[in-house]
Structure 1
Amino acid sequence: MGESEGQKPGSRGVSRRALLIGGGVAAAGTAVLARDDLGRLWWRMPGVVKRRKEGEVDAKGAQWTAASDYNWRRADRPDDYGIDRVIIHVVQGGYATALRVFKDPSHGAATHYVVRKDGHVAQMIRELDVAFHAGNRGYNERSVGIEHEGFVDDKSSFTDAMYASSARLTAGICERYDIPVDREHIIGHVEVPGTDHTDPGPHWDWDRYIRLVRAARAAPRKATEKARAQGAG
């Protein structure tokens, strides 16, 4: 689950011209570096830390519990790297195990979220940051990773509560970043190029999951339409 090195295709990372911010171009203002680049990259200069609110979560109802700083990389997504994937993982263990190893600086990997069998969600890394979860640097930079308690060879791991909670979580991510709800953009860890992982495994019900994500994403829209119709009546 560690992050592989190498150039990432199609990403909006720090370009060669942006790196010139440390040299003469910075003194010359925006002659070479565009204003929007400066807005995104000022915090990458030495000694500058982008302001964060401790304990803040991206998903409503999630409980914040921070992963080790060694298991993710600070970023400013989607401004520096576009997000167009959700990657589904299975722990091969329990919820507490996932939290423990993701807090371990020697582990070298963590996901943004962990979903428990009863549907409880922990957020361990902010969505704007790059989690080391896919085993592929480019996919790390473009995705949000969701870990699920359980085992790939145990169908009973995947409870109704887990499916429903995870689907709502993924629907919210898709809504925030305008990600299509389909199997091209919501994938398993096993589908990441270059990985040797098999999760979420043969017992993960993809048809059911995509249906639930679509329903969860459509629910707020339907509620708004219903409220408008009632107001008009």
Structure 2
Amino acid sequence: MGDEKTEQSERAEPGGSGDGGAESARRRGLTRRALLLGGAAVGVGAVVVAHDELGRLWWRVPGVVKKRKEGEVDARGAQWIAASGANWRRADRPDDYEIDRVVIHVVQGGYRTALKVFKDPGHGAAAHYVVRKDGHIAQMIRELDVAFHAGSRDMNERSVGIEHEGFVDKKESFTDAMYEASARLTAGICERYDIPVDREHIIGHVEVEGTDHTDPGPHWDWERYLRLVRRERDRPARTKAPA
């Protein structure tokens, strides 16, 4: 059943003679005008939404292919190792989705394990980057695309995910080389998308709303990490990554 108040308000008022009839007609006229104006506003809103959605999906139109270079990386020095196409989706970020977060992950395993599962179409998830203990970085998904890494569609669309070799309960997993390489990577991401270097915008997987993950865990040194990211961001002779 519909809402009773709504049903009553939509019933036409009976006509009448004299002032009562005129008032009734005036009210009906105002109601019809309000409906027309409201309908027009909804139509404009729908056009705006449709235009916004088309802006995000223009490159899916037959015959239109967004220019991409096979094996191209966003971070200088990273090695391209492609994730399965089932673990991410094509996008045109930041034109369609603003990038304003970096999400820090820990594999709960080794570097090779991360590469293996991210290349597995049955896994259903992958991060943009994987950082090895010695500081080597693999890029598996372009930053312009949406990686399935955070367990939240909204966070996936707005963030870049960085996976780190190691275990949340083993402090020794997080080496100096890893911290430094990851900090350079995050500094570059923050520079490219004008992301503030703070704990609101650089977060752990555990901080994503609705997640059941605990990484990067209690041994991840956030104070040290942000200090390193800021140092890299503010380096005078910083070499920018290729477009």
**TM-score (norm: length of structure 2):** 0.76
In structure 2, give the amino acid aligned to 1:59.
A
1:113 equivalent to 2:113? Answer no
Of the structure 1 ranges 183-192 and 41-50, higher mean CA displacement relative to structure 2 is found in 41-50
- Equivalent position amino acid for 1:102 in 2: F
Aligned residues: CA RMSD: 1.9
- Give 2:15's aligned residue: none
Give the drift of 1:18: 6.8
* SS in structure 2 of the partner of residue 114 of structure 1: strand
User: What per-residue deviation string (whole Å, max 9, x for no partner) do you get for residues 49-72 of structure 1?
Assistant: 323110000000000000000000
Take 2:67 and 2:119, find their aligned partners in 1: how far apart are those partners? Answer: 22
Note the C-alpha offset of 1:45.
2.0
| Structure 2 residue aligned with 1:54 | 70
Aligned to 1:229: none
The letter of the residue matching 2:100 is D
Q: 1:48 offset after TM fit, Å?
A: 3.9
Q: Does 1:186 align with 2:202?
A: yes
Give 1:134's aligned residue. Answer: 150
Question: Which runs of 5 or more residues in structure 2 are unaligned?
Answer: 1-44, 239-243
Question: Residue 237 of structure 2: which of 203, 223, 231 is its match?
Answer: 223
- Local SS of the residue matching 1:70: helix
Query: Shift of the alpha carbon at 1:46?
Result: 4.4
**Which structure would you say has the larger Rg?**
2
2:159 to 139, 143, 146: 143
Alignment of 1:50-199 (within 5 A): 50-199=66-215
Q: Which has the higher contact order (CA 8 A, sep 6+)?
A: 1
Deviation at 1:200, TM superposition (A): 0.1
Gaps of 5+ in 1: 1-14, 21-32, 225-233
Corresponding pairs, count = 194
Distance 1:40 1:133, change over 3 A: closer
1:3 is aligned to none
What secondary structure does 1:145 align onto? strand
CA change 1:211–1:89 in 2 (3 A) is same
